[in-house]
Chain A
Amino acid sequence: MLSIDFERHELDNGLTVVLAPDPSTPVVAVNLWYGVGSRDERPGKTGFAHLFEHMMFQGSAHVPKGRHFEMVERAGGSVNATTWFDRTNYFQTLPSHHLDLALWLESDRMGWMLDAMTQEKLDNQRAVVRNERQQRYDNQPYGDWDERVQALVFPEDHPYRHTVIGSMEDLAEATLDDITSFFETYYRPNNTVLTLAGDVEPAQALRKVEEYFGEIPRGADPPPVPGRLDPGAVIGSTVREQVRAQVPLPRVYVASRIPPLTHDDFYVADVATSVLSDGRASRLYRRLVREEALAKDVVSYAFPLVTGRSFMTSWVTGYPESEPAELESALLRELEALSDVTDQEVNRAVALSETRLLRQVERLATRADMLSMFQQIFGDPGRLNTEVDRLRAVTPDDVRDFAAATLGAQNRAILTYLPEEEAE
């Protein structure tokens, strides 16, 4: 159903370039995936990859502070970046006659970022990130759930033990030397995928990429991800944490280690989460929300991570009077009931995923990001076109086997949030 045209090239300095021409609108999405994320952070340096992403917008040798955003906005484009466990992506979507601008800005910071670093900029962005953490984690009901779940699912020495936002104590210690060494270690063309999707003529676009990025020297291969990458297929038991916090409603999370995105079984996990919570015909919605009216809302999600193991989380939010134990046993019951999943349920999950994928690639920015992802992780952007086939290959038996091997009591982290006692 999907046939996104693309071609792939590699510059002499190792930069991988994916070009996906689509002239239907005069817009181009420029997307870079740097192969570095929070997984690469050493102990005592958590939160670093993300702080670094902020610093990438603070100017480079030929781009003054603040001008990156300004120039792209002036050109009529949108621009941002995100940091995740396994990668950091930078992206702008802009009218296609401004392609050169985006390539110039991105290449300037890939080649000449350090020339513009100052202590003042570092201090400023550290404060911004501290606020980001407070806004998203500390001042938000359930805001720290992922921090707690990750610490339950992964051992001390696994790179997914800590969150992307990291520790503010670690960030307080960050120095300009750290910035320099991080840049030199990871922000190299040979650790990066650049995708252009939209209104580009491939031969001309490749020439431009060569002109802007070609002179940036290749770096050493980045060091291996620190830590023990495979902590084992299962947690080994059911581990628990109960938190009393400023939350409005009780909520129970159940998380498990699952195979990484690069394993065929990840597609099974993806279908399983969809059977559980995608739409109102999904099991958790149908049974816990609609029929039994135990839960206000339900979610199940498999994190698409690649380093050793990944994790899957399902959660159930109750009503003010709900008993957490009842929420927990209902959720566990449904995880176990995946053993009787039907063809119809799997087909529905695949149909929903198929429509979702089409909707995703309709946005050039998302299309470019997915092409970068498939290149960076699988070495093949073309997997985008065959992704639905892999989901369609999943059978009810696969889901049953996955649930039996992966979602049982030997592999559960259960996190419960309870509202603080009412003040009388």
Chain B
Amino acid sequence: MSSPAPTRRRTTPPEPGPIRPFHLPDLEGDRLDSGLEVRSMARSELPLVSVCLVVDAGETTVLPERAGLAVLTGDSLSGGTAKRSGAELAEALEGLGTSLRVSTGWNATTLSVTCVAERLDPTLELLAEVVRSPTFPESEVDRVRRQRLAAIRQRQMDPGHLASDELDRTIYPPEHPCHRPLSGQPESLEAMDRSQPAAFVEARYRPDGAGFVVVGDLAADDVLGWARDRFAGWEGSAAPRPELPPVVLPDPRPVVLVHREGAVQSEIRIGHPGPARGSEMENALEVGNAVLGGAFTSRLNLNLREEHGFTYGVRSRFERRRRGGTFSISTAVETGATARALEEAMGEFRRFVAEGPTTDEVEQARDYLAGIFPLRMETAPQLAAGLAEILIFDLPDDYHHRYRDRVRAVSPEGVRDAVQATLDPERAPIVVVGDADALERELEALELGPVEVRRPDDVGVGP
């Protein structure tokens, strides 16, 4: 069989048709007397509603000796309420076809549910009950703690997670919360009982500092009334957040090599501190990141994957927190290609910071980011998470509505300047998780910095 003779129109890409502009739904915002911020968006294509309740109870608000307390609290929150056991609560929610997800990050704890619109009232009632009257039964807290301890063990034996955790440990000083994994460490978790989550909720799950977000098939003017009714009597302010210590990178730049016996691949991380969410440079850095490693057609992926076949993929990203953030390059490569892949990645990183992106690359990245924005804000849960971000990071209410304008205003010089002001490839710590016996000498030969080999005992890994 031979290919059909192509018609003339096939030889060049087609021109786009007329643009139909995309509009986010309008956002309604208000604040209750208790301090609870309320945001909503109405849309009615499908009979679904997504609700988020965010509280100022992220992991950066806990003391070092209590590492993991915010996560443990979030995980055991649905262990029981004043009215119901944990099992009864699950029955009630899931009988409505929904489930409560509590996710705790560095910045906040978010309770989210998505339900069929006609079941919103009873769902909200249960959500309010959970946040207002959690009882933290001892058996539930103990179980959740055991699960977290087991999960730490799982993270330590998963090379990708292990590499990411080691990178944070290398970038952040020991007194900084981000030095340790989000969900804590065995020592801190083992010392906890049910009294700590209860006290943590008392101190931090407060309406002044919290936000309530509703998106979906609803009449927007109801939302404020619901919030008043459901959260009546919920009062008080979240305790002040502790100050975070400054981040000073180790000098000279360390190359941490974590030994994993017989590993067929190496997990590579290159990292650097970065700016907080909502910084002036945010969009320039986002465009820059798309060029360097944030998109499939980024420089890093085209080099390491499409040109050299070292990896299934490589990505870079900025994780932006309320205070500060982390830039990282991540990939997994064949053991035999580790040194060459690291050299290529560092080469791209250095060249990008030194020279900045080309005009064409910036145009492509801007069009990509502005174009996929509707896909990032497509569903009720995505929109609800977007509004929750506004509250968590104290962003202006039109933050998402103006996102594409900000991205389109980014220039190549703006990217170069922001990148140079933010990232120093010669100081960026490097972590490799792989077979140290095969890699140590090769990594030393790259002369990127002193190679520090960590054997499983040093990182608390099992066998």
Contacts and interface: CB of A to CB of B under 8 A. Distances in A.
A297 B147 CA distance: 8
Contact of A61 (B3, B93, B307): B3
A421 B463 contact: yes
Interface string B260-290: 0101110000000000000000000000000
B311 A76 contact: no
B97 interface: yes
A73 B374 contact: no
A65 B312 CA distance: 17
Contacts of B203: none
Contacts of A297: 147
Nearest to B139: A293
Contacts of B311: 128, 131, 135
Interface in B140-193: 140, 142-143, 146-147, 150-151, 153-154, 156-159
B462 A248 contact: yes
Nearest to A126: B309
A390 interface: no
A141 interface: yes
A211 B3 CA distance: 17
A115 interface: yes
A249 B378 contact: no
B13 A215 contact: no
Contact of A362 (B48, B94, B263): B48
Interface stretch (A41-49, A95-103, A148-156, A264-272): A95-103
B421 interface: no
A291 B297 CA distance: 49
Interface size class of B (residues with CB under 8 A): 35 or more
Dominant secondary structure of chain B at its interface with chain A: mixed
A97 B7 CA distance: 22
A355 interface: yes
B409 interface: no
B86 interface: yes
B305 A128 contact: yes
A25 B309 CA distance: 38
Residue from B9, B17, B21, B370 having most chain A Cβ neighbours under 10 A: B17
A98 to B, nearest CB: 5
Residue from B13, B22, B47, B310 having most chain A Cβ neighbours under 10 A: B13
A281 B364 contact: no
A249 B149 CA distance: 11
A141 to B, nearest CB: 5
Contacts of B93: 279, 281
Interface string B67-111: 000000000001000000011001101111111000000000000
Contact of A216 (B4, B17, B47, B263): B4
A347 B297 CA distance: 46
B27 interface: no
Given A351-B95, A362-B379, A419-B463, A279 B90 contact: yes
A293 B10 contact: no
Given A123-B309, A128-B309, A217-B4, A363 B157 contact: no
A131 B371 contact: no
A130 B307 CA distance: 15
Nearest to B15: A100
B386 to A, nearest CB: 15
Contacts of B264: 134, 138-139
A366 B12 CA distance: 30
Given A78-B375, A111-B3, A73 B309 contact: no
A73 B296 CA distance: 8
Contacts of A358: 46-48, 116
Interface string A137-150: 01111000000000
A77 B78 contact: no
A246 interface: yes
Contacts of A115: 3
A337 interface: no
Interface in B314-331: none
A62 B10 contact: yes
Residue from B97, B261, B263, B309 having most chain A Cβ neighbours under 10 A: B97
A77 B156 CA distance: 36
A101 B140 CA distance: 54
Contacts of B413: none
A296 B94 contact: no
Interface string B1-26: 10110110111111111111110000
A78 B334 contact: no
Contacts of B16: 75, 97-98, 100-101
A4 B19 CA distance: 25
Contacts of A76: 367-368, 370-373
B333 interface: yes
Contacts of A22: 45
A104 interface: yes
Contacts of B20: 26, 95-97, 199
Contact of A99 (B17, B99, B373, B374): B17
B114 interface: yes
A237 interface: no
B295 interface: yes
B306 interface: yes
A125 interface: yes
A132 B48 CA distance: 37
Contacts of B98: 352, 355
B381 interface: yes
A423 B463 contact: yes
A422 B6 contact: no
Contacts of A423: 463
Contact of A69 (B22, B91, B114, B296): B296
A11 interface: no
B306 A347 contact: no
B78 A25 contact: no
A351 B96 contact: yes
B172 to A, nearest CB: 25
B3 A114 contact: yes
B378 A352 contact: no
Interface string A43-67: 0000000000000000001100110
Interface of B: 1, 3-4, 6-7, 9-22, 45-48, 78, 86-87, 90-91, 93-99, 114-116, 139-140, 142-143, 146-147, 150-151, 153-154, 156-159, 261, 263-265, 295-297, 302, 305-312, 332-334, 364, 367-368, 370-375, 378-381, 462-463
29 contacts: A25-B374, A66-B306, A71-B13, A73-B297, A78-B372, A96-B20, A97-B20, A100-B14, A101-B16, A104-B10, A104-B14, A112-B6, A126-B309, A131-B265, A131-B309, A134-B264, A140-B159, A211-B9, A248-B156, A248-B462, A249-B150, A279-B90, A293-B139, A297-B147, A320-B150, A355-B114, A358-B47, A359-B379, A422-B463
